Amino acid sequence: MDSQYKIFESARQARDPRFDGRFFVGVKTTGIFCRPVCPVKMPMARNVLFFDSAVEAMEAGYRPCLRCRPEASPGTPAWMGTSTTVSRALRLIGDGALDGEGVGKLSDRLGVTPRHLGRLFQKHLGASPITIAQTRRIQFAKKLLDETNLSMTEIAFSSGYGSVRRFNDHFRKIYKRTPVSLRREQVVDQNDAFTIRLSYRPPFDFPGILSFLAMRAIPGVETVSHNEYQRTILEEGSPGRISITNEEGQNVLLCEIEVENSRPLIRIVEKVRRLFDLDAVPQDIQHQLQRDRSLGRLVRQNPGQRLPGSWDAFEITIRAIVGQQISVKGASTVMGHIAEKYGIKSEYGTLFPGPSALAHIDPDELPMPGSRARAIRSTAEAMLDGELELGNENDGAQVVEQLVAIKGIGPWTAQYVAMRALNDPDAFLHSDLVLLRVAREILGIDDEKQLLQRAERWRPWRAYAGMHLWRNA
């Protein structure tokens, strides 16, 4: 019997939450597919099939379970780390690249032909880009149907459908029922915010990631308390606010979203998932890093380590520039000054300024060395001119190359941006002084070259290894 089958069957029998979203269970006798944590009566082993993703299950003709709701599972890791082009494409699809455009424009952004992109998707995911996008839409629509009081029209457009008719037709095709008939009879709070539940695989060090974000919070823009992260946002030209808390014992983050309309909800949720690294697979990361005995001791102390992302790529780039050669607290103070002076005031708080606001600043007005202030202005100008692209169509190496071409930005800053803005799990800040000091104490490493050589053992999770070392500073 295949070893993977044994692992999946064991996880299914145990309803192990660590495997939630890593695979799905198709039940031959009912034509339904479930999460491995589904609470229904356990089907017999001879009646089940395993799928790497919800897309594969639906492509095989199985319908989503209405009890365990596959659309509510953590992100599928089968979509991660298989191909750089596929990973970039999936991030773009997650941002809605195929909601209003075709595969041709998506492939152009990635620098490949539509045919080649289709072959890559079939090889690594077993489905086409269009099928992936359609699955994303219907899963999010089902989530909004269960967790909000939005109308059917609002749900359709918030999920990326071009019309209500397409929304209804797709629902009938997948669920064999209309969206209205699937709406649960439940009381939904009638307030100004949308509350969305976001699943993750345990273990998850929520206090650790909150602590990381708290130390770097921008005054007036971000607020972090004991169990909550809050910040202002700007989506589709409209201001808003998000608030994230952890639902203890449920393996779920509660995401409260305040926005003027529901259309950007799907993109906001995608950003929150990246910010808190909710699609990580702790078991895989831990298994690889523990091969290094010395590092393994740190990993065992905190198996729930996550890689903090960012809300906005430009904002985190400015943060990285500001943070050069000053303390974390000092950098936060300067970021607060920039937000206060150049940001936009809204009813939700201060919105951090974009490239157009910082492209014309007077470097002498910022409380920092002139060279660093000019680097901020140059970065904003490069963004506006298209010389710097921090979007998901680029990989980490491309972003690093574009950033170091800007005067005043070095490799450390560029790697930090790649790690947080692109969620690059293998980005590694080998020249970081704190990282080197801890590596010297714990790993017995003397210099950058030795650290880079040692880090080869940690691929493709070097960024997580760096986080483990950092937190032991």
Catalytic residue IDs: 34, 432
CA proximity to 414, closest of 332, 313, 322, 320 = 320
Long-range residue pairs from 57-63, CB within 8 A, at least 24 positions apart, any chain: 57/24, 57/26, 57/33, 58/33, 58/135, 58/174, 59/126, 59/127, 59/131, 60/26, 61/31, 62/26, 62/27, 62/31, 62/32, 62/33, 63/31, 63/32, 63/33, 63/174, 63/175, 63/176
CA distance from start to end of the chain: 46
Taking phi first (over 0 means left), then psi (-120 to 50 degrees means alpha), and beta for anything else, what does residue 112 get? beta
Contact 144, 257 (CB under 8 A): no
Please give the structure tokens belonging to residue 397. Answer: 């190496």
Please give the structure tokens belonging to residue 53. Answer: 């993703």
Contact 96, 64 (CB under 8 A): no
Rounded Cα distance, 372 and 361, in Å: 12
Rounded Cα distance, 244 and 195, in Å: 10
Task: Classify each residue of 263-287 as buried b or exposed e, where b means 16 or more C-beta atoms within 10 Å of its C-beta.
Answer: bbbbbbbbbbbbbbbbbbbbbebbe
Tokens 């009081």 sit at which residue? 149
Q: What is the CA radius of gyration of the chain?
A: 23
SS3 294: helix
> What counts of helices (H) and strands (E) characterise the chain?
22, 11
